Amino acid sequence: MSMLADQPLTFRRFLSTWRREIIRGGVLFALVITAGLMISRVKVGFGVPWASLRSLGDFDFGGDGDLFGPGREIGDEWKWTGRVTPSQQVWIRNTIGPVEVVQGTGDVLEVSAEKSWRHSGPDAVQLVPVTSARGVTICAVWQAQESNCGATGEYALSHVHKNDVAVRFTVHLPRGVKVDVSTISGEVVIDGAAAPVVANTKNGGIVVHTSLGPVQANTINGNIEAAMDALTGGDIELGTKNGTVTAVLPSSLNADVDASTVNGRVETEFALQVLGKISPRHVRGTIGSGGRTLRINTINGSVLIRRPGNGDGDGHPVRVETRRTRHETRVRVTPAPDAAPAAPVPPRP
pLDDT digits (tens, 9 = 90+) for 208-266: 999 999 999 999 999 999 999 999 999 999 999 999 999 999 999 999 999 999 999 99
Q: How far does CA 56 lie from the centroid of its chain? A: 22
Quote the pLDDT of residue 88: 98
Query: Average of pLDDT values for 310-324?
Result: 40
The predicted model scores a pTM of 0.76
Quote the pLDDT of residue 28: 63
Quote the pLDDT of residue 345: 41
Find out whether 208 and 197 touch, Cβ atoms under 8 Å.
yes
What's the distance, Cα to Cα, between the start and end of the chain in Å? 70
What average pLDDT is seen over the chain? Answer: 81
What residues contact 22, with CB distance under 8 A and at least 6 apart?
A: 15
How many whole angstroms separate alpha carbon 267 and alpha carbon 320?
12
Quote the pLDDT of residue 8: 56
Find out whether 304 and 226 touch, Cβ atoms under 8 Å.
no
- Residue 35 corresponds to which amino acid? A
What residues contact 286, with CB distance under 8 A and at least 6 apart?
A: 255, 256, 257, 272, 273
Q: What is the pLDDT of residues 19-52, one digit of tens each?
A: 666 666 666 666 555 555 444 433 333 334 444 4
How many whole angstroms separate alpha carbon 178 and alpha carbon 181?
10
Q: Three-class SS of residue 7? A: helix
- Residue 293 corresponds to which amino acid? T
CA distances to 7, 9, 11, 342 from 3, in Å:
7, 10, 13, 55
Pick 291 or 25 by higher pLDDT: 291
Binning pLDDT at 50, 70 and 90, where does residue 343 land?
Answer: very low
Sign, Cα dihedral of 142, 147, 152, 153: negative
Helix locations, the chain, DSSP H: 2-40
Is residue 308 reached through a cis peptide bond, with omega within 30 degrees of 0 on the bond before it? Answer: no
How many whole angstroms separate alpha carbon 269 and alpha carbon 251?
10
Q: Three-class SS of residue 341? A: coil
> Which is nearest to 85 in space by CA: 135, 131, 129, 130?
135
**333: pLDDT strictly greater than 60:** no
